[in-house]
């Protein structure tokens, strides 16, 4: 059972930056696709970014492309999400997850392990 713990959320003004971290209990980064999702109040959980560390690729939702960067530190079993130029519409609980199926990486159904989430609030 993989345990994931997110950190780094908080309150920031529009235009500011935050760096989220996701620490995994075992070596997952080199073996699995890791993803970040977010869920705003009253909305469905949506894909933000994914990384295949060993394959050397990353993917982003159009809404965050050019502002967010996902990266992995295999030695520390940690995935980061650097968020710049934050907007009020980025306000949500952010979750990291481990992809455990062949379902497309942007679907929540592809991921079998989830963290507890970290709140990000962007004020205008």
Strands (E), 25-101: 34-39, 46-52, 57-60, 68-73, 78-83, 92-99
Is the distance from CB of 7 to CB of 18 less than 8 angstroms? no
Q: Please, which residues bridge with residue 6 across strands? A: 22
* Nearest by Cα to 35 from 45, 25, 43, 26: 45
How do residues 45-61 score in pLDDT, each as one tens digit? 999 999 998 888 999 99
Q: How many CB atoms lie within 10 A of CB 107?
A: 13
Alpha-carbon distance values, 56 to 31, 105, 116 (Å) = 12, 15, 27
Beta bridge partners of 13: 123
Per-residue model confidence (pLDDT) at position 29: 81
For 23-43, the pLDDT digits (tens) are 999 888 888 999 999 999 999
Quick one: how far is CA 97 from the chain centroid?
A: 7
What average pLDDT does range 101-113 have in this prediction?
94
Residue 10 pLDDT greater than 90, yes or no: yes
The whole-number pLDDT of residue 26 equals: 84
At residue 51, the pLDDT reads 96
């Amino acid at each position: 059972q993989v345990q994931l713990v997110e950190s780094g959320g908080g309150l920031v003004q529009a235009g500011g930056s935050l760096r989220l971290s996701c620490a995994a209990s075992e070596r997952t980064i080199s073996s699995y696709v890791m993803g970040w999702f977010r869920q705003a109040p009253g909305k469905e959980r949506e894909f933000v970014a994914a990384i295949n560390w060993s394959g050397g690729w990353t993917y982003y939702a159009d809404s965050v492309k050019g502002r967010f960067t996902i990266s992995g530190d295999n030695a520390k079993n940690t995935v980061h999400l650097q968020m710049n130029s934050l907007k009020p519409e980025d306000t949500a609980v952010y979750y990291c997850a481990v992809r455990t199926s062949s379902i497309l990486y942007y679907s929540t159904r592809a991921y079998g392990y989830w963290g507890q989430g970290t709140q990000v609030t962007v004020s205008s």
